[in-house]
Structure 1
Amino acid sequence: MSEASTSVQRAFETDGSFERIDGSTWDYTTTAFDGRVTVDPSERRDPESGTGADSVTEATTFTATVTLPTLSAVTDEHVADVVEDGWLETFELRVEDVSGVTRRSRDLDPSVRRSGSEIVVEVSLTDANTARGVADAAAFVDFVEGTYVQGIIPGYDYTEPVTSIRSKARQHGNDGA
């Protein structure tokens, strides 16, 4: 993939939640899970620009990918297949509601797939405004993490990173933050 433009680099640096991995990929550093955003600058039709020749603008496609553990990967005991499958199905349905978290109204269609003991959630969004594109990609990663945490089933003994996430939530709840 090509080197990201200066405006894209500046947008990631200004956001402050990302560390650059290579010329077109950034690691999102504020969640417990692996969130990455890859950029692909190109000339595209941007719906906000209207129609005709003037609607072709320089835009950037941001592909946000979040890798999370399956429920059984973060518990000390066995999780029945029916529970794991039902949990994943519910998670997928919740992730579909992502469109409302972005700064720009978007019709996002995230994909969710299971790969062994991991779940990979991915979405692509295109924006001519690089700062807004970066912010929307970050909002997607945060939304996926929050959706995952909402789905934690009580009654299991969890391992990392779920124990840390739950501990931080309790601390923030107890101090009124």
Structure 2
Amino acid sequence: MSDGDIRGAFAAHPKFEDAGDDAYAPTTNDWDATVTVAEGSVTVTVRVPTLSASVTAHDEVADVVEEGWFETLELRLDDATNVTRAEAKGEPMVERDDGEVVFEATIDARRENVADDALAVVNYVEGTWFEGIIPGYDYREDVQDLRDRAAGNAQADRL
């Protein structure tokens, strides 16, 4: 597929919107994510808060807890590109940047389902982050809202 075809696949996909500069943003996610098209590949970038940035101002996360949380997240995100049939180009990058965890991975965009592949990676990163939320802390409002929605969905599934 040419870069024009790849951009067309994202432009036509109902769960992406144009973010400018050959980038597309998923419309169904809770955190900042973009997919950039270049040279037959797409680079998926997802930004999620660190554990300490997720809690309220009156709650502190011990350094050892934050380190362990990040190391576990980093190990689990190494598998993020395995949720697609697209070939990964290099290893995913996971780093902390001023209260955020930045994930970035590049996948080959020759598959017809490139937009679905990119969305699967974004969903994997967000889901993996969410699974790592540690009970016992008071979380800021947007994070607590995610937790409440998940609990509500779990209750609805049991009915």
Tell me, yes or no, whether TM beats 0.5. Answer: yes
* Deviation of the 1:174 alpha carbon: 1.4
Aligned match for 2:122, one of 125, 141, 146: 141
* Deviation of the 1:106 alpha carbon: 4.7
Q: Tell whether the 8 Å contact from 2:33 to 2:47 is kept in structure 1 after alignment.
A: yes
Moved over 3 A (4+): 103-108
Aligned match for 2:69, one of 70, 87, 93: 87
* Deviation of the 1:9 alpha carbon: 3.1
Among all aligned residue pairs of Structure 1 and Structure 2, give the percentage whose two residues are the same amino acid. Answer: 40
Report the Cα distance in structure 1 between the residues aligned to 2:95 and 2:80, rounded to whole angstroms. Answer: 16
Q: Tell whether the 8 Å contact from 1:12 to 1:18 is kept in structure 2 after alignment.
A: yes
- Verify: 1:63 aligned to 2:46, yes or no: no
Q: How many pairs align?
A: 154
Q: For 1:129-159, what per-residue CA distance to the aligned partner results, in whole angstroms no more than 9, with x for missing partners?
A: 3x42222111111000000011000100111
- Verify: 1:159 aligned to 2:140, yes or no: yes
* Alignment CA distance shift 1:105-1:124 (3 Å): closer
Alignment of 1:2-17 (within 5 A): 5=4, 7-17=5-15
Report the Cα distance in structure 1 between the residues aligned to 2:101 and 2:12, rounded to whole angstroms. Answer: 29
Report the Cα distance in structure 1 between the residues aligned to 2:96 and 2:86, rounded to whole angstroms. Answer: 29
* Deviation of the 1:108 alpha carbon: 5.9
Aligned position for 1:52: none
Structure 1 unaligned segments of length 5 or more: list them.
43-59
Alignment of 1:4-83 (within 5 A): 5=4, 7-40=5-38, 42=39, 60-76=40-56, 77-83=59-65
What SS class does the counterpart of residue 79 from structure 1 fall into? coil
Alignment of 1:97-116 (within 5 A): 97-104=79-86, 106=88, 109-116=91-98
* TM-score normalized with structure 1 length: 0.80
* Alignment CA distance shift 1:126-1:107 (3 Å): closer
* Alignment CA distance shift 1:132-1:14 (3 Å): same
